[in-house]
Amino acid sequence: MRAATSWALALAVTLGASPARAHLMVAQHGTLNLVGDGAFMVLSLPATAFPGADDDHDGRIAPAEFERHYRDVAASVSGGVALVDAAGSHAPEGILLSLSPDDATPDAPAPQIVALGRIAHPGSDAATTLRVGLFGTDVATRTLEVLVTRGDRRRVLVFAPEDRERPLFPTPGTVLRDAVRRGVGHILAGYDHLLFIGVTLAGAGSWRRVFLALTCFTAGHAVTLALSLFGRVAVASSVVEPAIAATLVGMALLDGVAQARKVDVDARLRLALVFGCALIHGLGFAGALRDLGVEPGDRWPLVAGFNLGIELGQLAVGATALSLAWALGRRMSTAQRAGARQAVRGVVLVAGCAWLVARLRG
């Protein structure tokens, strides 16, 4: 009854909302609520997934374009989303669409379209997959995260052009594989984490020190990530996010003092500081995963896979950064190398201070 009420409310908002109020779902996200023999779908899809509706080719859909091509877009959704089971493929029915403009410019052409519909689901959850084939043209719009629910059960499925079909309730092995991918993506898209790694590597020196620093960072965030997901530690994001920014400021200042005094920070002290800062970053990782919904049985493969993915992403970043530094360093004088190190530290310090102020202000 509660699920049906939620669906009716979403439906009413879609039918009655103006474009300014139509922002029902975060871009590139969606929900699929399984109730009885049906699945109720809400997806936020990029405008560039419907090129036929974009008459002026600006990557957005204006209200006039939306009205002209409504049926074509609905047909694209019907053909691009399906539940697949032993009985065959089941497309959404009764599709309703709404423009989802940017909050700051509610009257401008919309970058997203919210699609609602019901999909017949006569098969068992365990033997059913969800297929999605509607993606945008740029990197930011080529993934889609869908939260699947059945009562108290929750699963987050991640779709991409190369991975268009996912089981509704995946096995531990699938959870592990997806967590590895999510960990790599999270570290590569997490600018605060990347800058922390950057300032840490700037003062590391050798390949051995780089590897140890990255391993300490992984070990530290693995501890708090696991403790948080298993309910042993709970820290509000209003505390965690400013603290992450503070780690950038602290490491940048430490590196600056060491370079100004022309001394190297003791290797053990540096690794201990990296480990301590990683404990804070791990709380941020845990918050991101909790927001997606984690079932108790998924915790271990999720923690293991996510940390492995982060380590792989870090090693890739570290190897690339050091290779570039080595190639450039051969052509740079000692003074130029010191200047490059100062530049990295300056970027980290400015960004860290800006994030710290912004996050403290909410």
Q: Which long-range contacts (CB under 8 A, 24 or more apart) does 141-144 make?
A: 141/27, 141/28, 141/46, 141/48, 141/49, 143/28, 143/185, 144/28, 144/29, 144/30, 144/43, 144/45
Total domains, the chain: 2
Q: Are residues 161 and 190 in the same domain?
A: no
Q: Are residues 108 and 224 in the same domain?
A: no
Q: Are residues 160 and 259 in the same domain?
A: no
Q: Are residues 127 and 238 in the same domain?
A: no
SS3 141: helix
**Spatial strand order in the sheet of 81-85:** 88-90, 81-85, 129-132, 165-167
Report how far apart, in Å, the C-alpha atoms of 98 and of each of 90, 114, 115 are: 22, 5, 7
Q: What is the DSSP string of 203-229?
A: TT-SHHHHHHHHHHHHHHHHHHHHHHH
CA pair distance 264, 149, nearest whole angstrom: 53
Q: How confident is the model at residue 204 (pLDDT cuts 50, 70, 90)?
A: low
Q: Are residues 193 and 318 in the same domain?
A: yes
Q: Are residues 207 and 343 in the same domain?
A: yes
Residue 176 maps to a domain:
no
Q: Provide the pLDDT for residue 315.
A: 83
CA pair distance 90, 123, nearest whole angstrom: 10
Last-in-domain residue among 148, 169, 190: 169
Main-chain dihedrals φ then ψ at residue 204, nearest 5 degrees: -75, -50
- Percent of the chain exceeding pLDDT 90 equals 41
Q: Are residues 107 and 155 in the same domain?
A: yes
Structure tokens belonging to residue 85: 């089971």
Residue 286 maps to a domain:
yes
Structure tokens belonging to residue 82: 């399906």
CB 129 within 8 A of CB 83: yes
CB 184 within 8 A of CB 310: yes
Residue 200 maps to a domain:
yes
- Percent of the chain exceeding pLDDT 70 equals 90
Q: Which long-range contacts (CB under 8 A, 24 or more apart) does 316-325 make?
A: 316/184, 317/187, 317/188, 317/194, 317/197, 318/197, 318/201, 318/210, 318/211, 318/214, 321/198, 321/201, 322/201, 322/207, 322/210
* pLDDT of residue 4 exceeding 60: no
Instruction: Give tens-digit pLDDT for 130-163.
Output: 999 999 998 889 989 999 999 988 888 888 888 8
Q: Are residues 191 and 164 in the same domain?
A: no
Q: Provide the pLDDT for residue 285.
A: 85
Mean pLDDT of 105-115: 88
Last-in-domain residue among 127, 146, 169: 169
Q: Provide the pLDDT for residue 16.
A: 38
Q: Are residues 229 and 159 in the same domain?
A: no
Q: How confident is the model at residue 20 (pLDDT cuts 50, 70, 90)?
A: very low
User: 74 lies in which domain range?
Assistant: 2-169
214 CB-contact burial (10 Å; exposed 0-12 / middle 13-18 / buried 19+)? buried
CB 175 within 8 A of CB 305: yes
Q: Are residues 110 and 148 in the same domain?
A: yes
Q: Are residues 228 and 99 in the same domain?
A: no
Main-chain dihedrals φ then ψ at residue 215, nearest 5 degrees: -65, -40
Residue 75 maps to a domain:
yes
Residue 11 maps to a domain:
yes
Last-in-domain residue among 126, 141, 169: 169
CA pair distance 84, 281, nearest whole angstrom: 39
- Radius of gyration for the alpha carbons in the chain, expressed in angstroms and rounded: 23
Q: How confident is the model at residue 106 (pLDDT cuts 50, 70, 90)?
A: confident
Q: Are residues 198 and 327 in the same domain?
A: yes
CA pair distance 276, 285, nearest whole angstrom: 15
Q: What is the DSSP string of 263-326?
A: -PPPHHHHHHHHHHHHHHHHHHHHHHHHHH---GGGHHHHHHHHHHHHHHHHHHHHHHHHHHHH
Instruction: Give tens-digit pLDDT for 291-333.
Output: 656 667 778 888 888 889 988 988 888 788 778 777 776 777 7
Name the residue type at position 270.
R
Q: Quickly tell me which residue has 């995963």 as its tokens.
A: 289
Q: Quickly tell me which residue has 């298993």 as its tokens.
A: 230
Residue 177 maps to a domain:
no
Residue 174 maps to a domain:
no
